[in-house]
Amino acid sequence: MKKIIDLYNQVFGWLIHLEHPALLGARLYVAWVFFKSGLTKIGDWESTLLLFEYEYAVPVLNFELAAYLATFGELVLPVLLAVGLFTRKAAVGLFIVNYVAVISLEDIPAAALYLHYVWGVLLLGNIIWGAGKLGVDQLLKIK
């Protein structure tokens, strides 16, 4: 039994070294997706306002305020997430943006919905574990 455990530990022990690069990869990928979306919003602000007024059913908020908040969140939070500064807070913010995007679209295609799930899971990893050693949080000792 000890040989099996030793073999298992030897074969899978290297996975622990992938934790920090995996967290960085997740941060960079999700940050890129949301930042790109924010750039699209400011690229054609009139269309953004029309989408928020007629297409997206954002609960509680006025469509114009929702458009400004979503755009701000998609431009600022990804930068913080990418560099690993206030990682957990940025990830929570983007998780909320992601969640609101899903509940605001009544007829979201299945493929798009699954992508939102993937982004949500990647954000949850950064909410739980933070930036890891490859982020500014580690340098500044932010927990």
pLDDT tens string 109-139: 999 999 999 999 999 999 999 999 999 999 9
Whole-angstrom distance, CA of residue 79 vs CA of residue 73: 10
Extract the tokens encoding 97.
């943006």
In sequence order, what DSSP letters do the residues of 13-46 get, joined into one string?
GGGGGGHHHHHHHHHHHHHHHHHHHHHHHHHTHH
pLDDT tens string 40-81: 999 999 999 999 999 998 888 999 999 999 999 999 999 999
Nearest to 73 by CA among 22, 35, 114: 35
In the predicted model, is pLDDT for residue 25 greater than 80? yes
pTM for the predicted model, two decimal places:
0.89
Residue 59: what pLDDT?
85
Extract the tokens encoding 135.
């982020």
Give percent above pLDDT 70 in the chain. 100
Confidence category of residue 143, pLDDT binned at 50, 70, 90? confident
The DSSP secondary-structure symbol of 116 reads H
23 and 125 in contact (C-beta within 8 Å)?
yes
Residue 43: what pLDDT?
97
Nearest to 94 by CA among 77, 82, 80: 77
